[in-house]
């Protein structure tokens, strides 16, 4: 099936051009909606990590410039690689399981028409969890910097918890409209992601010389559970809020358990 390209930068000529940047792997069921939501950008760049499905083909058919960068170097490194491939200095970054909502698209178009001048712009994420948008707990407002000037900001953080770091003292502008995030396909996907991400995080901590102690295993996970369910009122999301809090605690415990099990020489063997 041929997919009609939806990306056409000639349809809009803002004063500030914006590159849409996406990283993806095995996302044929979600990459299409992600790229379509970036049609307001002047180009879309998709960095693929060696997908075996139709991720690259679907993105290309929709008008994106697809670049293969495999093996996967890490979330932070792959996202930084993506913005370095962009044509324009202002970049708007999404993961393949995210979309720019129509309201956010309009807001960015209006800003670009007046010329973007801030180093970075942050926005909340509407996190879908098991069929419903959650409004409390650790999943809200979940603000992220995703629109920024790559000359004044870059991808940083510790994998897999990457984030944008502004390199000067310019204030970050907060936008009201949200990104939509389809966080997990199902509960089994959540469990697999927790196991994968906890090991990545443990290795990153070990590489910094961090070691596990009883406090990490016995105190931190329950504290995460209480923060998500009670402090941030996750209980108002019903059983989903409870599951999110429990999984957050489990992921935190698993991270430190993996760290405990890693060799003391840095854990990256």
Does residue 267 lie in a domain region? no
Is 138 found in the same domain as 14?
yes
CA–CA gap between residue 156 and residue 9 (Å, rounded): 29
| Whether the model pTM is above 0.75 | yes
- Predicted confidence band of residue 9 (pLDDT cuts 50, 70, 90): very low
pLDDT(26) > 90:
yes
Residue 2 has pLDDT above 60, yes or no: no
Same domain, 175 and 250: no
On whether both 32 and 59 belong to a single domain, the answer is: yes
Same domain (yes/no): 95, 169: yes
pLDDT tens digits for range 136-194 = 999 888 999 999 999 999 999 988 889 999 988 888 999 999 999 998 999 999 999 99
Determine, yes or no, domain membership for 253. yes
Q: Are residues 172 and 195 in the same domain?
A: no
DSSP type of residue 16: S
Report in angstroms the alpha-carbon separations of 227 from 1, 230, 236, 241: 47, 6, 13, 11
> Is the CB of residue 116 less than 8 Å from the CB of residue 107?
no
Q: Which two tokens stand for residue 168?
A: 């000067």
Query: Quick check: is 122 in a domain?
Result: yes
Same domain (yes/no): 136, 203: no
Clarify whether residues 191 and 178 are in a common domain. no
Give the range of the structural domain holding residue 235, as residue numbers without chain letter.
187-261
What is the CB neighbour count within 10 angstroms for residue 39? 19
Contact indicator for 194, 144 with CB cutoff of 8 Å: no
Residue-wise pLDDT for 45-74, tens only, equals 999 999 999 999 999 999 999 999 999 999
Count up the domains in the chain and report the number: 2
């Amino acid at each position: 099936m041929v997919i009609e390209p939806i990306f056409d930068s000639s349809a809009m000529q803002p004063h500030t051009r914006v590159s849409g940047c996406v990283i993806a792997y095995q996302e044929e069921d979600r990459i299409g909606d992600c790229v379509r939501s970036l049609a307001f950008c002047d180009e879309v760049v998709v960095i693929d990590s060696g997908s075996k499905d139709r991720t690259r083909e679907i993105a290309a058919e929709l008008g994106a410039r697809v670049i293969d960068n495999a093996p996967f170097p890490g979330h932070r490194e792959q996202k930084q690689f993506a913005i370095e491939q962009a044509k324009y200095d202002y970049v708007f970054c999404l993961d393949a399981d995210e979309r720019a909502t129509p309201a956010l698209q309009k807001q960015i178009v209006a800003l670009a028409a007046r010329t973007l001048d801030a180093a970075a712009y942050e926005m909340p994420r509407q996190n879908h969890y098991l069929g419903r948008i959650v409004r409390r707990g650790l999943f809200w407002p979940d603000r992220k910097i995703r629109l920024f000037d790559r000359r004044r900001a870059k991808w940083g953080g510790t994998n897999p918890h990457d984030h944008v770091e502004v390199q000067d003292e310019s204030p970050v502008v907060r936008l009201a409209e949200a990104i939509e995030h389809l966080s997990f396909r199902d509960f089994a996907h959540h469990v697999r992601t927790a196991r994968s991400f906890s090991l990545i995080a443990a290795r990153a901590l070990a590489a910094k010389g961090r070691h596990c102690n009883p406090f990490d295993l016995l105190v931190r996970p329950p504290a995460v559970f209480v923060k998500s369910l009670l402090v941030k009122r996750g209980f108002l999301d019903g059983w989903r809020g409870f599951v999110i809090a429990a999984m957050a605690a489990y992921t935190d415990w698993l991270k430190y358990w993996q760290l405990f099990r890693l060799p003391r020489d840095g854990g990256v063997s």
